[in-house]
Amino acid sequence: MQRLSVKRSKRMRRDREFSHAFARLDFFGFSYYADGMRCLMLMLVLLMPLTSAGAELRVASLHPLLSEMARRVGGEHVEVVDLFPRNGELHRFEPTVHELASAVNCRFVLACGKGVEPYLTALRESLASTPSQVLELGDAVPDVMTPDGSAVDPHWWNAPENMKRAAISLTLALVQAMPQRAEAIWSRLAQYAQSMDALTREAHLALATVPQEQRALATAHAAMCHFCAAFRLQPLVVQGVAAESEGDLRSVAKLIRDLRSRGVRCVYSEMREAPRFLQNVAESAGAELGVLIMDGVAPEQPSYETIFRSNLCAVCKSLLPVPGDSR
Specify the long-range contacts of residues 190-193, CB closer than 8 Å, at least 24 apart.
191/72, 192/69, 192/72, 192/73, 192/164, 192/167, 193/164, 193/167, 193/168
Question: Is the same domain home to 194 and 249?
Answer: no
User: Strand, helix or coil at 192?
Assistant: helix
* CATH number where 57 lies: 3.40.50.1980
Tell me which residue range forms the domain holding 281.
Answer: 209-319
Question: Is the same domain home to 77 and 120?
Answer: yes
- DSSP secondary structure, 25-84, as one string: SSGGGGGTSSTHHHHHHHHHHHHS-S--TT-SEEEEESSHHHHHHHHHHHGGGEEEEE-S
The answer to whether position 220 is within a domain reads yes
The answer to whether position 13 is within a domain reads no
> How many domains does one find in the chain?
2
The answer to whether position 326 is within a domain reads no
Question: Is the same domain home to 156 and 243?
Answer: no
Question: Is the same domain home to 30 and 96?
Answer: yes
CA atoms within 13 A on the CB side of 68: 17
User: Strand, helix or coil at 136?
Assistant: strand
Instruction: Please report, in tens digits, the pLDDT of each residue of the chain (327 residues total).
Output: 444 454 445 445 444 433 333 233 333 333 333 344 344 444 444 444 444 556 799 999 999 999 999 999 999 999 999 999 887 889 889 888 888 888 888 999 999 999 999 999 989 988 888 889 999 999 999 999 999 898 999 999 999 999 999 999 999 999 999 999 999 999 999 999 999 999 999 999 999 999 998 899 999 889 999 999 999 999 998 875 444 445 567 777 887 888 898 889 999 998 776 677 788 888 999 999 999 999 999 888 899 999 999 999 999 999 987 655 555
- Show which of 153, 176, 199 is a domain's final residue: 199
- Show which of 169, 199, 229 is a domain's final residue: 199
The answer to whether position 8 is within a domain reads no
